[in-house]
Amino acid sequence: MAAAVAAASAGHAFAHILLLFLVFSTLSSAHRHFPFPSNINPLCLAAPYPLLCAQLPPSSSTLGLAELAARAAASKISASIPAVNRIRSRFAKNKRVASALDVCAEVYADAVSDLNSAADALRGGAGNFGDVMTYLSAGVTDVGTCDDAFDEDPSLVNPVAHISKNLNRLVTNSLTLASAVKRSE
């Protein structure tokens, strides 16, 4: 009886390993065959969101691309603050949602400052990458804090979740590209 149970467990474990192998090989195969534009900057392929990276102006260096990504993220976040404030005006009577949206506008402004500081440090070329990474990490945290303001109360629906998701992708690309610069030093 014990041998039958052991054989069944081994077969079950093998089935799980095979399933995991198939899932991961399919995912990696799908990534390799995803149709990227033919003119995509090869440096963008290192970014978690390469199609967003491909929208940046051309750059021949990872350092330049990291700076462009940080500036683009800062610009998009800055442009989203008025939209957050317009959405907030629709929730003036719902103090909890309005308060969470106030947090979003505030931390988005912080993110703009952090990303511009990172871009300025990257522009210097041989800047202190510790500072760059700190500023970019703070930018990721800032954008995430907006979502956290809504997550604290599960009854609240985040009316800017789609904005936050896109901004998080932009900042994550910036952080990843700066990490690639740091690794290549």
Q: What is the pLDDT of residue 181?
A: 84
67-83 CB burial, b ≥16 within 10 A, e <16: bbbbbbbbebbbebbee
Written as six digits, the tokens of 14 are 């093998």
Q: Residue 108 in contact with residue 164, Cβ under 8 Å? A: no
**pTM recorded for the entire structure:** 0.78
Mean model confidence pLDDT for the chain: 82
pLDDT at 129: 84
Which tokens go with 4? 């039958």
Dump pLDDT digits (tens) for 106-132.
999 999 999 999 999 998 765 678 899
Strand, coil or helix: 140: helix
- Render pLDDT for 73-103 as a digit per residue (tens, 0 to 9): 999 999 999 999 999 999 999 999 999 999 9
